[in-house]
Amino acid sequence: MTETTVYTPEEVAKILKISRFTVYEMIKRGDLTAYRIGRKVRVEAPDLEIYINKSKGLPVAAPAKTYPPDVPFAAHDGLILCGQDIILDILTKHLEREMPHIQFLRKYIGSVDGLLSLYRGTANAVTAHLWDSDTDSYNLPYVRHLLPGHRTLIINLVHRMEGFYVAKGNPKQINTWQDLARTGIRFVNREHGAGARVLLDEQLRLAGIEHAAITGYSHEELSHLAVASCVGRGEADVGLGIEKAALQVLTVDFIPLKKERYDLVIRKEDMAKPQFQTLLSILRSKSFHNELAGMGGYDISQTGTIIAET
């Protein structure tokens, strides 16, 4: 590959034999360096080569464009928000409008990694939708265990419906967790630490189903939309994710399974800071609620409510 070669995300997807949605997620997470020309995203050949060599475990030269390393956020006066749902982009937009002098950053990572980032001090507002089978509850047990000894606030963002993505008409009649282990059923999974992956593993444990019994358990995509798209293209028969993504892929149907609580977790000590007061005010505002209601696919009845303190 020459240094002058430039790829579109679609071309990168063909080279790596993955979906273009996965390419966009790799770019968002900082795994693959890219740049924008207007609304178009482009990847230079040397950056793609660096990604491939890193994946192979080969030594690589430092890229020309680098991302800053994770450092404790105490060094900043802004806010790092972890999570992948589009409502976080809307929330960030509201924050930037209300406080243009403050830096607001996004990290596109799953629930477990988000809580660990909060524990390590590399983020200060993280989202979670982690179901605990022992208590049949969301998030609080994980916050208690992953942030031992830390005082936190758990604030509801929305409630969402988790379920199966299947082909239109559900031709293979996939309706239960047990159906995932049937012969001939191809599954597409989420990455380790994602809330959907945790829900799946907990349900499989309760049903006594081994991971090895599920064809495609190791096939991972990095977002709900990427999973739904994979099913829509016929590369898998079923995947697990939120209803909102199913509304965006016309070739899939959605089989609802469990209503989940999608929460924001912050350190209690941060609540006195202006940016966090503004954050809570936005979550409770009529304009923010109206914007979410207009999108569909979300239950906003508890949005902005403090669910628990630890």
Residue 86 shares a structural domain with residue 102: yes
DSSP string, 22-69: HHHHHHHTTSS--EEETTEEEEEHHHHHHHHHHHHT---PPPSS-PPP
Are residues 175 and 126 located together in one domain of the fold? no
> Residue 4: what residue type?
T
What total number of domains does the chain contain?
Answer: 3
pLDDT in tens, 180-235: 999 999 999 999 999 999 999 999 999 999 999 999 999 999 889 999 999 999 99
| Residue 252 and residue 104 in one domain | no
Other CB atoms within 10 A of residue 305 CB: 13
Residue 50 pLDDT level (bands cut at 50, 70, 90): confident
**CA–CA separation, 97 vs 92, rounded Å?**
9
Mean per-residue pLDDT over the chain, rounded:
89
Domain-located, residue 65: no
Give the per-residue pLDDT at 28.
79
Residue 58, pLDDT score: 58
Q: What is residue 77's predicted lDDT score, i.e. its pLDDT?
A: 66
Q: Specify whether the CB–CB gap between 272 and 280 falls below 8 A.
A: no
CA distance 157 to 129: 10
pLDDT at position 66 is: 34
**221 beta partners:** 190
Do 96 and 236 reside in the same domain of the chain? no
Give the model confidence (pLDDT) of 62-78 as tens digits. Answer: 443 333 444 444 435 68
pTM over 0.85: no
Residues 142 and 269 in one domain: yes
The SS3 assignment for 303 reads coil
Percent of the chain with pLDDT over 90: 68
- Asked if residue 106 has pLDDT above 50, the reply is yes
At 69 the pLDDT is: 41
pLDDT at 158: 98
What one-character DSSP code corresponds to residue 299? B
CA atoms within 13 A on the CB side of 161: 16
Query: Distance (Å, rounded) from C-alpha 109 to C-alpha 91?
Result: 16
Q: Tell me: do 124 and 197 sit in the same domain.
A: no
Range of the domain at 44: 6-56
